[in-house]
A and B are shown apart, each in its own frame.
Chain A
């Protein structure tokens, strides 16, 4: 068997789209600029699947979402691409109030198998609306799954899992990981949603991070190697949240730092901290530290790297809990 080839994360996502659209005719895409596009993750799909299945729309989030919403009710499995995830807010009412809670409200009689996707994240100096991560806003609502990949392998497997899931899934990807290369098997495969991954084993401190921050966590673990042994856990999904894997790690380390590229208040970092204190109080040998964006808008210019979580801030938190 030949070596597994390496692909950039966006190519891994595109391969998931292509393979799932080949496998299942009910899968189609609707979104802004997906026939051409400033991001390469849909490039070339329109040539293969045509404009019936790669439906390019104007800048009208509510309209394109409505298209997908109705199609899902009729048995299709639409993928809605907002390009920048932050603009999901223009369609927040049908997504959060209706789609997410649809199945529950209708007594599990109907489901809406949709994928809502978009890119975001600090690092490109694009300004608050384009950069801000919205995973926690969505994850606060029950009924919709929310995930973000950290590696090309996870990106493909999680996108396929999202498309095949009968629940609505928000699949958010971080701009800072777009061109990250990693091994991606050619055949279709599933990375289950709601399952965290121990990406790096360590014994002194559990560092939870994902997306672009997973890379920062790796930088910090390398810096501290030989001094502090860092275990990195990628939660992969924010909802449902896999606390068991974190608790298991804490049995070994007793110390927890959670990096969440999000505002500090009501973040996944806060949620993990709360659940760990609730279920794993006796495992803690130090206070839990959160590394997040302070409760202020992300600046668009040169201040962005100082406000967003960064290796120095993560290292300081890790050192603090290891005192």
Chain B
């Protein structure tokens, strides 16, 4: 029978502790009294000894803050029992809430931490059960708010109505175009419930802007060569079975730029930056909304762009976008992205030369937004010429990347787009 190990109460008034470091490894046989972990409280750090002997199974990764008395590990009485509990019990906190990335097997083999919830979503991961009033649960359910993302302000940390409403207000404040609370004098034309896709977008955008350090970089790409290259593909469209799009070129260029600057293709997972081998490009696809006034957005993922040619990329892009619009994406197709491409939508059919600051798709480090290609007067080889130009906006997480690697990434991206033959490399 395995013995649960809980966060010890080391001092009066200690309510929670941080597992700074496990001093034993997963599955290790531990003697009673051996140093087990280092715990940090509000005031002081302690080395804590094992209260019993056994094979230790870690349930809470180092770095996490947990309330006292919540289970953080288990002592198995035998190696066999350890194998049993380690196999059966999924690490606590692995329930993938909305923003969690789910990696496929290939990715885990690269050494990534499997199924770990990004930091922002884990705030409520203090114990198994989330303490919330029935009303708070219902309100959160109705509004599509994940209780795990909320902090309770009620007695004993219970999530109560005001916490849900506050979270909703934050989401509204960051997404609503209308000025808040002027309804006294304004008449309501329509309402859009912050539920379902709208609610998810509101939450994730708010979370993105509130929990990461975003900086945007703007530049221009001379796409004259790209359009010429594309013409050749179009001419052979019948042979390829698709009219290769500009977006396909951009996806390929992103993959190559990521290979040149791997830190651009990364994420913060727990307390480290994890760089990925695969370049899985999420493509933002705009959708009709759930009601008359609403719009929607979904980001299916094109996997392994680094291994695919333009024609295959384009074929898959069209397939993903079509099925996204028809609501036929299968589970998993919106997960596992490592970087995002957010093509500029034709602004209501109006060609417009513009930049913007795309919002990061957490936990990814970078998002690329090409603008619409338009003829512009530019200085080309010492003369003012009409060239086909593309605005390029890139937002990156400054926690992960500094200016230099971003510059390298953008330079590589532009080189590939300005001289598409480089993508043959």
> Which A residues are within 8 Å of any B CB, using their own CB?
254, 281-286, 323
Contact = CB atoms under 8 A, between A and B. Distances in A.
Contacts of A284: 133-135
A282 B161 contact: no
A283 B134 contact: yes
A254 B160 CA distance: 10
Contacts of A286: 133, 154-155, 160
Interface residues of B, number: 10
B137 interface: yes
**Residue among B133, B138, B160 with max Cβ neighbours from chain A (10 Å):** B133
Contact of B161 (A254, A281, A323): A254
A285 B161 CA distance: 6
26 contacts: A254-B133, A254-B135, A254-B161, A281-B134, A282-B134, A282-B135, A282-B137, A282-B138, A283-B134, A283-B135, A284-B133, A284-B134, A284-B135, A285-B133, A285-B134, A285-B135, A285-B136, A285-B154, A285-B160, A285-B161, A286-B133, A286-B154, A286-B155, A286-B160, A323-B154, A323-B155
A323 B160 CA distance: 10
A263 B161 CA distance: 32
Main secondary structure of the interface of A (DSSP, over half): loop
Contacts of B133: 254, 284-286
Contacts of A254: 133, 135, 161
Contacts of A281: 134
Interface in B125-162: 133-138, 154-155, 160-161
A254 B159 CA distance: 13
Contacts, number: 26
A248 to B, nearest CB: 15
Given A281-B134, A285-B154, 11 more contacts: A282-B134, A282-B135, A282-B138, A285-B133, A285-B134, A285-B135, A285-B136, A285-B161, A286-B154, A323-B154, A323-B155
A237 to B, nearest CB: 27
A35 B318 CA distance: 97
A222 B135 CA distance: 27
Nearest to B162: A285
Contacts of A285: 133-136, 154, 160-161
Contacts of B137: 282
Contacts of B138: 282
**Residue among B133, B135, B136 with max Cβ neighbours from chain A (10 Å):** B135
A103 to B, nearest CB: 38
B290 to A, nearest CB: 23
A284 B134 CA distance: 6
A274 to B, nearest CB: 15
A266 to B, nearest CB: 24
Nearest to B137: A282
B210 to A, nearest CB: 26
